[in-house]
Amino acid sequence: MAIDYQAILETIYQEVQPLLSQGRVARYIPELSKVSAQHFGMAVFCLDGRRFTVGDAQTKFSTQSVTKLFALSLAFEREGDAIWERVGREPSGNPFNSLSQLEYERGIPRNPFINAGALVINDILAQRFAQADMAVLQFMRVLADDQKIDFDRDVALSEQRHAHRNTAIAHLMKDFGNLRNPVDVVIASYCRQCAITMSCEELAKAGSFLANHGSIPWNGTQILDYSSAKRLSALMLTCGTYDVAGDFAFRVGLPAKSGVGGGILALVPGELTVVVWSPGLDAAGNSLAGVMALERFTTLTGRSIF
Ligand code: GLN
């Protein structure tokens, strides 16, 4: 029997309501603290063209670390396996903004989804493109088939003014010779990249090439080959939700990438993308209601990679 995605989204929407007041909106980027924790949106984008949404699925939010997935896709597409000389592929087991491993691992970040790794990817893109952040933005516009997607300049500046920890990470990597561009250039570009705003619906569409083994489902454009898409999906599963990726795999069972704006993009390979947004975060920095919503989604649909 066909899965009634709309009915499932509506059930989840009801179920998560009591959770919306339990998460805490990110405050270390002051501009993000202005967003209400009461938002909840969810969008499903099926590769066969069907779409389903509930709640605030059309409201734009700060995509933050979800952009790390797109920046990595672009860098991997351009540079291939050369990127692995500068960034690893193992879960860090540490918070996304931690400095500690970087010191004893000599400036090579554990993976491209922690801040250190994303700064290196931004630096790699800056060697290829005039402006790394513009390259990521343009890439996301193509993937979402929407030229209006843009940065939120207030969020970018707000993060840049408070980017002490990311700047420290960048300096440490520069000292180890793992950053080619000036620290302030990389930080400014990274903050703008993180400040790209999109809705659940737009992100679900933009990420669909990964669920479709590397090709844009509606026009067949190949962004990544089959094997590269598989590899990025594997990294999402092992490293995409910070230091709780193991628990996320246990509870949800899908490759996913989260951001401190409260968005999570997840894939059912070969079938669909599902994006959830709710700005209240848990202790690890993942959307509290978002993780629960995805857990319910895989339970109610019977879909996961396992
Ligand atoms: N821009 C944020 C930061 O660097 C992104 C972090 C995140 O979403 N986990 O802290």
What is the position in ligand 1's atom list of the atom closest to the CA of 66?
8
Which ligand 1 atom sits closest to the C-alpha of 194? 1
If one residue of 159, 193, 198 were mutated to test the ligand 1 pocket, choosing by the most ligand atoms within 8 A of its CB, it would be 159
Q: Which of 63, 94, 96, 243 to mutate to test the pocket of ligand 1 (most atoms within 8 A of CB)?
A: 96
Choose, from 62, 65, 73, 189, the residue flagged as catalytic.
65
| pLDDT of amino acid 65 | 97
Give me the pLDDT at residue 61, please.
98
Decide: 62 in ligand 1 pocket, CB within 6 A: no
Mean pLDDT over the full length of the chain: 96
Q: Calculate mean pLDDT across residues 103-121.
A: 96
What average pLDDT does range 241-266 have in this prediction?
Answer: 97
CA distance 33 to 49: 35
Does residue 45 carry a pLDDT above 90? yes
Give distance in angstroms: CA of 28 to centre of ligand 1. Answer: 10
Radius of gyration of the chain (CA): 18
Could you tell me which residues are beta bridge partners of residue 123?
A: none
CB-CB contact of 241 with 257 (8 Å): yes
89 CA distance to ligand 1 middle (Å): 19
Q: At residue 48, what is the residue type? A: D
Domains, the chain, ranges and CATH? 5-64+197-301 (3.40.710.10), 66-194 (3.40.710.10)
Would you state the structure tokens that stand for residue 120, as one six-digit string? Answer: 């290196």
Instruction: Kindly report the backbone phi and psi dihedral angles of residue 261, in degrees, each rounded to the nearest multiple of 5, phi listed first.
Output: -75, -10
- Please give the C-alpha separations between residue 143 and each of 208, 219, 256, in angstroms, as whole numbers: 8, 11, 17
- Rounded to the nearest 5°, which phi and psi values hold at 14? -65, -45
The pLDDT confidence band at residue 282, using thresholds 50, 70 and 90, is: very high
Closest CA to ligand 1's atom 6? 65
pLDDT > 80? residue 1:
no
DSSP assignment string, the chain: ----HHHHHHHHHHHHGGGTTTSB---SSGGGGGS-TT--EEEEEETTS-EEEEESTTS-EE-GGGHHHHHHHHHHHHHGGGGGGTS--S---S-TT--HHHHHTTT--S-TTSHHHHHHHHHHHHHHSS-HHHHHHHHHHHHHT-TT-EE-HHHHHHHHHT-HHHHHHHHHHHHTT---S-HHHHHHHHHHHHTEEE-HHHHHHHTHHHHTTTB-TTT--BSS-HHHHHHHHHHHHHHTTGGGHHHHHHHT-S-EEE-TTSEEEEEETTTEEEEEE---B-TTSSBHHHHHHHHHHHHHH--S--
Query: Is any atom of ligand 1 closer than 6 Å to the C-beta of 203?
Result: no
CA 65 to ligand 1 center in whole angstroms: 5
What is the 259 CA–ligand 1 centroid distance (Å)? 7
Please pick, among 60, 68, 174, 205, the residue that the annotation labels catalytic: 68
In this structure, the residue with its CA closest to atom 2 of ligand 1 is: 64
3-class secondary structure per residue, 225-237: CHHHHHHHHHHHH
Ranking 57-61, 93-97, 223-227, 290-294 by mean pLDDT, the lowest is 93-97
CB-ligand 1 contact for 241 (6 Å cutoff): no
Q: Which of 289, 300, 286 is nearest to 256 (CA)?
A: 286
- Mean per-residue pLDDT, 49-59: 97
Q: How many angstroms is it from 120 CA to the middle of ligand 1?
A: 14
Give the pLDDT band (50/70/90) at residue 172: very high
pLDDT at 69: 98
What is the rounded average pLDDT of the residues 102-124?
96
> For the residues 141-162, what does the mean pLDDT come to?
97
pLDDT computed for residue 93 by the predictor: 87
Q: What is the pLDDT of residue 138?
A: 98
